[in-house]
Structure 1
């Protein structure tokens, strides 16, 4: 046999074996802890691309939906769509591809280059549809549109079909409980504040809807929470039975204080919400609220974060609070560490929530695992 040919074949074989061994070792390298702020590789070894996202738990599996970012100067514009990942243990995530694609039609509401933020997916038991809501800004309009967008799918991972975008609750006045203070009731005949003026200005066409989340209660009722009135007020609005529209019933929360990034959850019959102030892409102190009824009154409690850098939420901003399946009082605070100059490099800060009676606290951990929660 030709010696040179033999050496070449042997070299190729050894190289192939080395590649297979590397691939094999990579596939077995399972993560067993959370490391907030570090690169978080998916099953392909690529940093997870699901920013401003939320998680749906269905049939023993978690599905993470978030904004897909690209390298370069696209900034916060949506050039691809909403990415989906799945996991059974929360540490290791499989890339499930793009769940909702932006459109190549520049006239479409979700045209390529629009701003599509904070996607959240919920499951509707009546229609057996998966429903995705998101904050939408129309192509080339900056942040002027302030719309809510909705899409649905028969399959959790998609593809999702875009339905519509609009401003919620046109022509509707807020719902007031008997406990609502008189100074929180808006009077469009004589607005008492600049914030009330924004509400009245937008009343005919619907309220502004920016940073948002969606919450499904124990009874199956779903609610859309969003920054409104130039971000000075949070609206909490009831969704229709199919989760694709608004019923017209809503309340205003923390009126006159700029609040973004709402994340809502429930424990022991008490509703909790974590949010942030409004400082552009720069981090600020988180804030939390609680209520014994979804319709309020909602009580402001200050900053849940403790220790160094708590005044900037450890460099991040809330996006979702995740209940861990099968564990009691186990909730994960999910935040994004935004990098607007290189959006694709945005990091994720996941931290456990600690309960002290009915109060909550969040502390920084360099690394941790689900063992911190009681079963």
Structure 2
């Protein structure tokens, strides 16, 4: 049975510009959706429908097929159903395979999981449903008003209960269970969907999901909320050597504790961790490309790089531009770069690479944008910890906490 997952991801977005490429947990929204679909056991084919070249590139790299959507169904008024039908036709033309079941997967629901997709798919493939959707249990009292928006003075006086009577408000355990449509995932029999031309027909199955993961990104506040929640809701995924080709390290705050000692002549010194030096040496021996990239102009950065035998670019104002140029010169794909940072000037580089990593002591905004966060603060062995992620637990042998002074 062919189960086709279609992920609509157009380029235009007024609420959040370039929304589908915005990162949550260090991963673009469209890529998060692709990964969930690829991990679902019941899904056989994954297609991203888009009109945007950058989204198409990200989707292909993540492992999805891409269907380029015509302008007629890519505007603000275009329906998801139109995108799904077009993707079904295009996929059939490309593969010569007719889908039995089609899934609509919304990448604006950042915490969708493979289990969610398997749930709606199996409701149709195994349980006899014609359509299915993810829902979240709710016990809330819903209100509506007549005559306008809440900003209208008269409308504020016309509130009434939708799922309850103002004169009779039973306890939660005495009310019938209700469910909120999450907007994350839908499954439909493909032939029925073509005939009905909408996502609900016949027998509809409700597939409950965890209410804590229900979030749709419609405006910048939703996006910020998702970024804060990602470290709590995303499963811990750490990079291995097979995931990356290069490691790029910030200096201050990642290889140091972000403190500087200044003597009477204005000379600056910093403390670095010997364990980090051992980790960097192991990364160098593993064959990975290494770079220290810093905005700091102090000669101490270059001196430390020389001791570590690692190339360095420092005194750099636009680190993201320097990183992109370095990747181009070394033939390294940015999505296979692990970049370690700690402060807000590292965020542009985070948006460029596939593995943005924050140290435990990083700024809150940096931690929220990271794909992984160390348990160790900067300057206390965080780089050693990252090296152990990449190269294995052999690097976790005890080591001295003696600090190198440089």
Q: TM-score, normalised by structure 1?
A: 0.22
Which is strand-richer, 1 or 2? 1
Kindly name which structure, 1 or 2, has the bigger radius of gyration based on alpha carbons.
2
Return the TM-score normalized by structure 2: 0.21
Q: Which has the higher contact order (CA 8 A, sep 6+)?
A: 2
